[in-house]
Structure 1
Amino acid sequence: MSVKAICTHLGVTRSTYYCWKQASTDAGSCHVIERRIGELCREHKFRYGYRKITALLHQEIRVNHKVVQRIMQKYGWQCRVKVKKRKQTGQPYHIADNILNRSFEATAPLQRLVTDITYLPFGQKQLYLSSIQDLYNGEIIAYSIGDCQDTDFVFNTLSQLDTLPEGFTLHSDQGSVYTSYRYQQAVKGKGIIMSMSRKGTPADNAPIESFHSALKSETFYLDNLRSTTTAIVEQTVKDYITYYNYIRIQAKLNNQSPVQYRQLVG
């Protein structure tokens, strides 16, 4: 039967029929798009926002990004990766000159120290390690493990340094925790000469960067500890620092461990 005959038989106009047909087609297309968006979101474990999902869809069909955004919001398919919010700390209180200037040698213990923070993303929550290293023998002389990268965290590491010679140098990057008023006051109170890397130049603090890299490579990555408990992360770090200081030999220390070298030479 022709469309005209069908419309006459049903008592509807041809325009009404074509409007219904178009709406039916649109509804079908919308269902297909929704289903494909859901598949892509689940396939990528909800790591992507609507912009990336739209880009993937464009490899198959053309669809407006606003449509994708609306559908993802409708079904709760938005990106589930937590966006890290950086705390606004304002202008740094004090930025020191790069006194160390990549001169990573010292002729006596506690003459030149370096410090830094590294991530420990291996447990149930994000942890951080703050370390202070003696450039004389590479020994880790102070460290803290915590779940908050703030001034109290690095201050706790610094406070572990008790008996210190006058006028030794402590080198760090220009992180807000190191340039903060409280940290700088503590540094001055201990008679420390502060040195800081140039901005965006990790090589200016290479020894402590190397230690943190070795710690992760020789424990978490070597033992494939990518997802474990917080307690195991903390114990792994503590055990490795003990091993690093007392047992792990270094060629530049005449194949002695840092503590052995300090005791023999000193």
Structure 2
Amino acid sequence: MTRRQFSREFKLEAVRLVNERGISLVQASRDLDVGESILRRWIKEVTSDPGQAFPGQGQLKPDQQEIDRLRREVAKLKAERDILKKGRGLLREGVDMKFGFVAKHRGIWPVRWLCEALGVSRSGFHAWLTRSPSARARSDEILGAHVKASFVGSDRTYGARRVWHDVLAEGDVCGLHRIERLMREQALRARPRRRGLPSDKGERNEAAANVLDRQFVATAPNQKWIADFTYLWTAEGWLYVAAVIDLFSRRVVGWSMSVTMTAQLVADALMMAIWRRGKPDALMHHSDQGSQYSSEQFQKLLADHNVSCSMSRSGNVWDNAAMESFFSSLKTERTARKVYRTRDQARADVFDYIERFYNLRRRHSTIGYLSPMEFERNKASG
């Protein structure tokens, strides 16, 4: 039996599920089909050294260790720069403002880094967390509810100035800047004008033939995989999401997320699928003709694993309709009209949708209204 392997990205998201999202270890283990002892080991590894967890097999050489140390220092310096840039003006503010900033951004940077950059103590921050809210904080909570009511009542189209006038009309006395702050804190952002979508400027190589030919049915696992990637907007910019689906059960067997749409993005998704399903025989991989899939790097990866390549015809989205259907479900059922303040928030939401909903529970009409995992279990036992 082939030993299951998991990518570093999968392990980190699995740990966040337990540490940051309140899912119990037992439930997460069951949802992700990972042993409790394995998941507990992953959590311990991340807790002991978050930056260096899951480095891969083997020990680093001395020169590599020095490079690794320097990278950590550079990462910390960049984080401190970004913290001070994002929190400019806070150095002149009181500790309550600084602690509020730490509480708001501790999901992005470690609390230790945040406190060091702002010149406050970690013990003071943790004491502040348990302190009763100030009169100002209670006032913000009440006013924030009025702000949200105005924003939602406008069908999420009002900006801060219009919300401000609504609040003034209700009899509240406050300034525009306070309304802007409360909207930022609640991630209330007016629906933007349609932004230009990212374009694929990569160099395209010769495309493979359309071997799949819209035959979106497989009689067994690991016969036909389809792949593509999409993009989600966050306040930090685009997040690209690549996925690989087994047409037998419509299960997402591999995925990857990145800030850039490179060949590495789609290669990581394919490698996750191979690690999960074992090295399959007589497998066809179908995608569009994007530069990422036609790149030398990705084509070599297919050849190394004896996977045959099939590509949609140029400009014909119906040639990969099953993949388009999945991304449509992802956006309609989960990400549409959500406002992600960070890419990490979007990553966590996509991970949750794929691993804890779509694969595990979502009923799929193509497979008799069973979930992909239930369909595979039934076929394996029958």
TM class by smaller structure? 0.5 to 0.7
2: CA distance between counterparts of 1:171 and 1:88?
A: 19
Aligned amino acid, residue 206 of structure 1: A
* Alignment deviations for residues 35-77 of structure 1 (CA, whole Å, 9 cap, x no partner): xxxxxxxxxxxxxxxxxxxxxxxxxxxxxxxxxxxxxxxxxxx
1: CA distance between counterparts of 2:202 and 2:329?
A: 32
Out of 235, 245, 251, the residue aligned to residue 359 of structure 2 is 245
Q: State whether residues 110 and 164 of structure 1, in contact with CA within 8 Å, keep that contact through their aligned partners in structure 2.
A: no
Structure 1 partner of 2:216: 104
Aligned amino acid, residue 139 of structure 1: R
Aligned amino acid, residue 342 of structure 2: T
Shift in alpha-carbon separation, 1:253–1:156, aligned structure 2, 3 A:
same
What TM-score comes out, normalization by structure 2 length?
0.46
Structure 1 partner of 2:265: 153
Out of 172, 197, 201, the residue aligned to residue 316 of structure 2 is 201
Aligned amino acid, residue 240 of structure 1: Y
Q: State whether residues 243 and 256 of structure 2, in contact with CA within 8 Å, keep that contact through their aligned partners in structure 1.
A: yes
Indicate whether 1:236 and 2:362 are aligned.
no
- SS at 1:98 equivalent: coil
Out of 127, 152, 169, the residue aligned to residue 239 of structure 2 is 127
Structure 2, unaligned runs of 5 or more = 1-194
Paired residue total: 182
Aligned amino acid, residue 330 of structure 2: L
Sequence identity (%): 31
Out of 331, 338, 353, the residue aligned to residue 225 of structure 1 is 338
More RCO (CA 8 Å, sep 6+): 1
Note the C-alpha offset of 1:164. Answer: 2.6
Deviates more, 1:235-244 or 1:163-172: 163-172
- Structure 1 or 2: more helix by fraction: 2
Indicate whether 1:215 and 2:330 are aligned.
yes
Q: State whether residues 140 and 245 of structure 1, in contact with CA within 8 Å, keep that contact through their aligned partners in structure 2.
A: yes
Which residues in structure 2 correspond to 1:1-266 (within 5 Å)? 87-89=201-203, 91-92=204-205, 94-160=206-272, 161-162=274-275, 163-221=278-336, 224-242=337-355, 243-266=357-380
Q: Which runs of 4+ in 1 moved over 6 A?
A: none
Aligned amino acid, residue 226 of structure 1: V
What TM-score comes out, normalization by structure 1 length?
0.65
Q: State whether residues 360 and 373 of structure 2, in contact with CA within 8 Å, keep that contact through their aligned partners in structure 1.
A: yes
Aligned amino acid, residue 164 of structure 1: K
